[in-house]
Structure 1
């Protein structure tokens, strides 16, 4: 198989008019990442509200687990559909379709006379629509981005998880003293704001040139590449080579398409990719972060912080801190230190801080020492600080980056599906574990974090520096990153 190695000219994006216009519009696509972050803070906030608790019968244990986990069950259910929607209808329509399903789910949750089953059903639709949208939006970012900037943009995309969590946390704080059901209906309804903005803005962005080529719309695809990657120069050698690479990629896709999902098991390189996607997705949800993301109310109550206002302030401050850390370290250092290094910093740091957190929780539980309780609060901040070096910024970016074009939509859907399923697991288990074991339950996550660090050290592949084609060779050598056709074997 012949490959095309692009020589990518260095471009400073803010000095390039076309890239500047493109990148200033891309936050519209990145809003897709906010929905899960909003949901985590929202559920934390709702649990602190007497009006929400009373309206839905004070859910606890497995019932509370269902309230939180149902969104991820909806997200997992989108797995069979998301890649085909993105590939058949296009990245923009795929994003918009998911948004419309989300908005329908949000309306169902705040409808007059909503029952607990309606609320749960609405959350299922939000999760389903979210993963349809997320199955398309980051692909469009990756396929529109100038190659030099792809790493930072894809990492920046998922850090907007925290933007959603910040808005939710402070909305809950602002409505917590409202009377009646309006206190929880307002923050639930506001979950539709960012998807609605995205729905309006997504069609002001160009479609993926790669998708246009796959539909035979070569003139449109070339015009987009010329406009944004060559600043309007139709004779650009780089754009001509990039366009040729897309054609070669599509040829390889046609060879591999008949294999469907089985392609992930067909070659050693693809099996390793599959393993890394599973590990990245699982660790993104099950490293102890799920405790704070959805059950901060219980964590704070366990160390004596029971006032609703204090809990809401802590949650709001934690989300702002987490976002700032992820921007300053994950996005800014991803191309300097590399992906594996950032994963290691996060894994080791989370293990250390979570171990101290566990010890301080034990001390508070046994002695009531207020200093130990304050130390738990400090450790939660430090835990999220070190987690921000890699999670959640690299979850989608790394999982997409290690995949060749032909299986990227399927691989991203696998990432989202496994992430959702992992979220379901820890959202069901956490409230039960906290109720029965209290701080002793934390040891489960210490074991997981030890395994996580070992997996990162021995299994993760560094992808800093190489082009996407060269990344493929890290997994496959100089063989095709798909599977050999009968013609190639001959």
Structure 2
């Protein structure tokens, strides 16, 4: 979206009813402190490793089957999250994932069992991810929504760090232990999630959608107002949530076709598809799945050196993502972070391609070392937006009634894009070597243009009020709150 268009959205939003959110410091606020200290339990993700040392089509199947399982979850995750609640859906996904890990790691495992186990890992992961970030977003105090939801996906790197350094630690092992230990450790994070998810309250928005209004209000009062039921902001926040969900329920537009029925929803669907695709197909997929081939191409061929490089890269990626995206998401906004990441990745990837070409033609060791530096720098600029904003942005642009379905679409497109990466990249690298990188340069150019012209800034408004940016006057948002209201009385008396 261009600057002029974004300004138009901002002006339009200013004309809408707007809930004033009092700023708070979370660690000085007893309710939020209690809530946020437990939230990292929802942010833990599983580690995923390859079975032995497969090659060719076998490697493609072993790596792709996880994403095939993840895509299959699209048809189940939103119904589980909407029907049974965010906590139960998160826990169920963890259980399925753990079962998948056990199937892979048992002594009697065969190839069919291993493939089935990896399918369950992907399936269970997306059942859990299809609910966990929604619970975080819908529990968070409005001021902290962006940072907490971005943090959810950036903590994926905790799992990848464990995976990388476990592989490094077992590299000298021979026989089955070299792959069985890393595979078994995939169960660590989902087990911690499973143990911790029910220490958190349920989503107040989900409770309102089920008519459990008193429970929803009590949660908001306890965690957003330190137990003060007379707090004027909590009354206003509850009113906005309850009225908005009632409006959405009355409209009864929560099936899959709703994404095509209005201009606002078509825009949401387009942004979800673009964000999900770019999150996997901006050149990062090359490093994620085929770092071994890339390092071989620049002369880094010893398993020890490759594993050490990968371990360092995962730590660097985590520090950058948690430092940049989480810190700047509420300062610079979502659209600006997407732009910084996309432009930075385009510049770095272009230099990376040039250095690869020089090394391939001349064998210049300096060019080879420059490629290694570019990989680190690439993940540095990517950390401004990816992966943190992938889930956060796609979730917050959606109204409650279709939020779980929209996130399922995001995860489904992400999974399919991952499968595309896993089958296309090895062919491209084998046939074209460094020349294959030009495909991603073209994609990055398109990515920059799409972000500039299409992406909508969502920093500022509450989760309910974001609908105004997409649906205008047709937004199903409570109109009973007047802009800038700072009184302790409201036009509607809350009834529980």
TM-score (norm 1): 0.92
Aligned-residue Cα RMSD (Å) equals 1.5
Residue of 4, 7, 20 corresponding to 2:33: 20
- Which ranges in structure 1 are unaligned for 5 or more consecutive residues? 47-51, 54-58, 483-490
* 1:287-340 per-position Cα deviation (integer Å, ceiling 9, x unaligned): 000010111111111111111111011001001111111111111011111111
Within the alignment, does 1:371 sit opposite 2:389 as a pair? no
Q: Which residue of 2 aligns with 1:7?
A: 20
Q: Is 2:415 aligned against 1:402?
A: no
1:168, distance to aligned residue in structure 2 (A): 0.6
- Paired residues in the alignment total 463
**Residue in structure 2 matched with residue 317 of structure 1 by the alignment:** 312
5 Å-filtered alignment, 1:328-343, equals 328-343=323-338
> Quick check: 2:355–2:367 contact (8 Å CA) kept in 1?
yes
CA contact (8 A) 2:276 2:413 kept: yes
1:349 aligns with 2:347: no
Match of 1:123 among 118, 127, 135: 118
* 1:37-71 deviation per Cα after TM superposition (whole angstroms, max 9, x unaligned): x32xx34xx6xxxxx22xxxxx3233211111111
8 A Cα contact 2:157 2:317, kept in partner? yes
Match of 2:483?
none
Deviation at 1:259, TM superposition (A): 4.9
Note if contact 1:162-1:323 (Cα within 8 Å) is conserved in structure 2: yes
Indicate conservation of the 8 Å contact 1:61/1:432, yes or no.
no
Is 1:212 paired with 2:225?
no
Q: How does 1:71-82 map to 2 (within 5 A)?
A: 71-82=66-77
Residue in 2 that maps onto 1:56: none
2:449 to 432, 445, 454: 454
Structure 2 Cα separation of the partners of residues 62 and 436 of structure 1: 15
CA displacement at 1:112 relative to structure 2:
1.5
Paired residues of 1:4 and 1:245 also in contact (CA < 8 A) = no
Q: Runs of 5+ in structure 2 lacking a partner?
A: 1-14, 478-496
1:4 CA displacement: 6.0
TM superposition score normalised by structure 2:
0.91
- Match of 2:466, SS state, is helix
Query: Does the Cα contact within 8 Å between 2:97 and 2:125 map onto a contact in 1?
Result: yes
How much does 1:243 deviate? 1.7
Matched, 1:255 2:250: yes
**Alpha-carbon deviation of 1:116?**
2.2
- Report the more deviating stretch, 176-185 or 79-88: 176-185
Q: Deviations over 1:350-386 (max 9, x none)?
A: 1111111111111111221111111110110010000
Q: Deviations over 1:441-468 (max 9, x none)?
A: 1111111111101111111111222233
Could you tell me which residue of structure 1 aligns to residue 4 of structure 2? none
Work out whether residues 252 and 406 of structure 1, in 8 Å CA contact, stay in contact via their aligned partners in 2.
Answer: no
Work out whether residues 249 and 406 of structure 1, in 8 Å CA contact, stay in contact via their aligned partners in 2.
no
Tell me whether 1:303 sits opposite 2:301 in the alignment.
no
Helix, strand or coil: the match of 1:234?
Answer: coil
Q: 1:268 to 1:450 in 2, by over 3 A?
A: same
Structure with a larger share of its residues in helix? 1
Q: Name the structure 2 match of 1:103.
A: 98
Per the alignment, in what secondary structure is the counterpart of residue 337 of structure 1? coil
Q: After TM superposition, what 4+ stretches of structure 1 lie above 6 angstroms from structure 2?
A: none
Match for 1:179 among 166, 174, 179?
174
Partners of 2:240 and 2:464 within 8 A in 1: no
CA distance in 2 between partners of 1:435 and 1:242 (Å): 56
Q: Any idea what SS the aligned residue of 1:468 has?
A: coil
CA distance in 1, matches of 2:232, 2:400: 22
Q: How far is 1:252 from its partner?
A: 2.3
Question: Shift in Å at residue 3 of structure 1?
Answer: 8.0
Write out aligned runs for 1:165-244 (5 A): 165-244=160-239
Shift of 1:10: 1.3
- Quick one: distance in 2 between partners of 1:453 and 1:216? 43
SS at match of 2:255: helix
